[in-house]
């Protein structure tokens, strides 16, 4: 049973030597327990925060212990009548090939006909993040002009599509021309900025958003936030989902120099953590399954094969190696 442990706390961009691949025995099943074989696991930017030893909304990962994260597995042995052998389950027990449990931490996947790994992306935590940020936090209206950063990622690409199907004008920023083409040609996004090749980020975002920005779905922070604050329309809303530009910073980053725009433009800026909004998950899944079946929402996956590749997949998030959801197939 191979697992990935956190060997040391990364400083700056995580590196392979921060992780170790450890072989452990599989415990004998007790009464009431099930054995789950993980099929897929998720790597997510928020895991970088858990590698830092600090107080946060979620406890830090421990050194020399198995990491945790979203996973989809299959019940391969069962001493618990609630879980039949062959059932597909989701859990937070990723970064390992097998685990035993009494089942309290498992959710049996509903029958949707949609690939199981979608429950780590469009039908899982990233999808609910996109939906919650747009509908609850930003209170999206059809007339809104929306800008999304990290727009081709797991969350961003779903934000773009939900905003388009609500009737909004949608623009985003990405780190490559291939990602830009994906958004424009496949997802119908109205305009895209490549933040890596631009000479003037604010000017390019202004060109992409000729009528200004009513809703900013913030995934990046830093220079993006400063540029967008200057381009927000009065009474705009900023849903602060993440600030990936800062996750590997080793020194405090300078704040936007123009926060007074929040006052002048009467902006609402609100951070949120999707785990606080899990009560909305059943209604979200029902809606998203419908959109997928109607062909209104699609998604991409970037897949690394084998548990030993999980650290590389995780590090790749900070290098833009994924389009859509970054996954590891075990």
Which residues ranging from 199 to 218 are in contact with ligand NDP (CB under 6 A)? none
- Residue 297 DSSP SS3: coil
- Residue 87 or 191 with smaller CB distance to ligand NDP: 191
Q: Quick check: 129 binds ligand NDP (CB under 6 A)?
A: yes
- Residue 246 or 293 with smaller CB distance to ligand NDP: 246
- Residue 183 or 231 with smaller CB distance to ligand NDP: 183
Total residues contacting ligand NDP (rule CB under 6 A)? 29
- Residue 231, classified by CB atoms within 10 Å of its CB into exposed (0-12), middle (13-18) or buried (19+), is buried
Q: Which of residues 18, 36, 41, 46 is near ligand NDP by CB under 6 A?
A: 46
Question: Which residue from 129, 103, 107 is spatially nearest to 116, judged by alpha carbons?
Answer: 107
- Residue 47 or 231 with smaller CB distance to ligand NDP: 47
Q: Quick check: 117 binds ligand NDP (CB under 6 A)?
A: no
Q: Quick check: 183 binds ligand NDP (CB under 6 A)?
A: no
- Residue 83 or 281 with smaller CB distance to ligand NDP: 281
Residues 317 and 245: beta-carbon distance below 8 Å: no
Q: Quick check: 291 binds ligand NDP (CB under 6 A)?
A: no
Q: Quick check: 154 binds ligand NDP (CB under 6 A)?
A: yes
State the chain's maximal CA–CA distance in angstroms: 64
Distance CA 231, CA 285 (A): 34
164 phi and psi angles, rounded to 5 deg: -65, -45
270 phi and psi angles, rounded to 5 deg: -135, 125
Q: Which helix (H) or strand (E) holds 162?
A: helix 154-165
Residues that bind ligand NDP (CB under 6 A): 44-46, 126, 129, 150, 152-156, 174-176, 179, 219-220, 241-242, 244-245, 272-274, 317-318, 320, 322, 326
């Amino acid at each position: 049973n191979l697992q990935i442990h956190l060997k040391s706390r990364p400083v700056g961009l995580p590196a392979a030597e921060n992780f170790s691949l450890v072989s452990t025995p599989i415990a004998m099943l007790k009464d009431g327990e099930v054995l789950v074989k993980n099929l897929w696991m998720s790597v997510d930017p928020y895991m970088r925060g858990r590698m830092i030893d600090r107080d946060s909304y979620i406890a830090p990962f421990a050194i020399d212990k198995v990491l945790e994260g979203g996973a989809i597995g299959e019940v391969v042995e069962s001493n618990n009548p609630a879980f039949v052998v062959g059932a597909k389950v989701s859990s937070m027990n990723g970064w390992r090939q097998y685990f035993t449990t009494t089942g309290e931490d498992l959710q049996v996947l509903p029958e949707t006909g949609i690939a199981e790994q979608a429950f780590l992306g469009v039908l899982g935590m990233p999808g609910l993040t996109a939906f919650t940020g747009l509908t609850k936090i930003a209170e999206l209206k059809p007339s809104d002009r929306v800008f999304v950063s990290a727009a081709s990622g797991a969350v961003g690409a779903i934000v773009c599509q939900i905003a388009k199907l609500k009737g909004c004008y949608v623009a985003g920023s990405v780190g490559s021309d291939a990602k830009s083409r994906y958004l424009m040609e496949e997802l119908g996004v109205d305009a895209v900025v490549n933040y890596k090749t631009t000479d003037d980020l604010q000017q390019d975002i202004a060109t992409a958003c000729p009528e200004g920005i009513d809703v900013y779905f913030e995934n990046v922070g830093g220079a993006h936030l400063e540029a967008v604050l200057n381009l927000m329309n009065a009474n705009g809303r900023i849903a602060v989902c993440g600030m990936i530009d800062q996750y590997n910073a080793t020194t405090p980053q300078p704040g936007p120099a123009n926060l007074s725009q929040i006052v002048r433009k009467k902006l609402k800026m609100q951070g949120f953590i999707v785990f606080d909004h899990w009560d909305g998950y059943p209604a979200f899944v029902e809606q998203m399954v419908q959109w997928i079946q109607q062909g209104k929402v699609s998604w991409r996956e970037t897949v690394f094969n084998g548990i030993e590749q999980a650290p590389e997949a995780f590090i790749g998030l900070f290098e833009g190696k994924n389009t859509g959801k970054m996954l590891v197939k075990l």
